[in-house]
Structure 1
């Protein structure tokens, strides 16, 4: 059984997809790439603020699926410039600070994201 997760507290998806899918038969929850766009459609100009929105959105998706950051086994992040490594990693490390077991993590520099103002995108995989 699959449960789609689209919390009302975050910006709605840009297309025909769910923010997250919880596959109860496999014990996996996958969160689509989250962008630094607030529920009201605003996009901060800096990478740190965008990363914070991305992580808040992932937390909301996990919560809707009955999970927490402690259930995340992998984070994949994409930034549009090397200068955004440190701000992203600072936010990631803040959100994961209290976890005894940290998830695997990948960080990629991408030529661009879906809109030019987006600087950071983060996706997550969790198990339950």
Structure 2
């Protein structure tokens, strides 16, 4: 993967790349949106705790595909209010850690999810050679 951040446009607002170029022949994984429900069905309060669960779920999905967070080339996240952006971004930054190429990213404020206690949802695209 190669980060695309042209000098002719404003730099990213946070830890992401404006674009990511994938080489030919990569294997892709696309996750469904993950909500912050723990394995026992409980939903913690707050975006950060819910996003941590989202990212744990995504890590498990990637592991099943023999991938890791460094393989993520794009993140899409949805929060129900601007106040949830900080908590989501803290969890996201822990998830991507020190990956060699920051993924591209989209963060959208939505009116809600399937249940009112959910405040964040995250989905990713990941890629690995062959």
Deviation, 1:26, is: 6.4
CA distance in 2, matches of 1:72, 1:90: 17
Q: Give 2:75's aligned residue.
A: 75
Q: Which has the higher contact order (CA 8 A, sep 6+)?
A: 2
CA distance in 2, matches of 1:52, 1:124: 14
Q: TM-score, normalised on structure 1?
A: 0.78
Deviation, 1:45, is: 1.2
Q: TM-score, normalised on structure 2?
A: 0.77
Aligned pairs, number = 104
| Structure 2 alignment gaps of length 5 or more | 1-24
Q: Give 1:33's aligned residue.
A: 33
> Highest Rg: 1 or 2?
2
Q: Give 1:44's aligned residue.
A: 44
Q: Give 1:115's aligned residue.
A: 115
CA root-mean-square deviation: 1.2
Deviation, 1:61, is: 0.2
